[in-house]
Amino acid sequence: MRKPHLPTGDRKLVQILDAALADASRRSGEWLVCCPGCTQCCMGVFAISQLDAARLQHGLAELSRHDPARAKAVRKRAQEAVSHLSPSFPGNPRTGVLSEDNEAEERFEHVPDDEPCPALDPATGTCDLYASRPMTCRAFGPPVRSEDGLGVCELCYHGASDDEIRSCEMEVDPDDLESQLLEEIQKKSGRSGNTIVAYALAD
């Protein structure tokens, strides 16, 4: 499989995200119910960056060395997902790059939300590429601010007030290191635009 350039700064970005998640988890206490085997956030198709894609591909290459059978199963699930998603893929079905026009965004919103992530092991309910998971996965669960407001996993923070939820907010990449790393990837490889997990892992 192709193993693209992964900026050395990605390790720092992962450390920042993991530290922020640990801090938000500590402040959240029992309100944050995320645990191994809960696959709520592993269902549905979502956009990932080329940095996420490169990290996943490196993770799969590493898994291939240590556990070829598991890696083969991940790649097979990804290929099957690409096969049935590609006919209506809102972008380039050959490269897996999502289009950015309004029509494509609307089509993307109607992709079935019961599509399991190819990295999800259906037997264990855990992620085969957990250490290499995308930014969205690393920030899912605790309250995270977006243009739509403060969002949380629907399974978490039951019984918490709005103020209590705000007190647990996770600050994601405050220095916008991800943008710098994406620019580096584009300069090194010429790849740009978002994709999805299935396309990143199907090669």
pTM: 0.92
Domain boundaries, the chain: 9-201
Q: Which residues neighbour 164 within 8 Å (Cβ) at sequence distance 6 or greater?
A: 31, 157
Summarised one tens digit per residue, pLDDT across range 177-199 is 999 999 999 998 888 899 999 99
Helices 177-189 and 9-28: crossing angle, nearest 10°?
150
Written as one letter, the residue type at 67 is D
Summarised one tens digit per residue, pLDDT across range 80-119 is 999 988 888 899 999 999 998 877 777 777 776 788 999 9
**Would the pLDDT of 200 be above 60?**
yes
> What is the spatial distance between Cα 100 and Cα 202, in angstroms, rounded to a whole number?
22
**116 by DSSP, 3-state: which?**
strand
Residue 146's Cβ-count burial label (10 Å; 0-12, 13-18, 19+) is exposed
The candidate with the shortest Cα–Cα distance to 107, out of 115, 94, 98, is: 98
Summarised one tens digit per residue, pLDDT across range 68-86 is 999 999 999 999 999 988 8
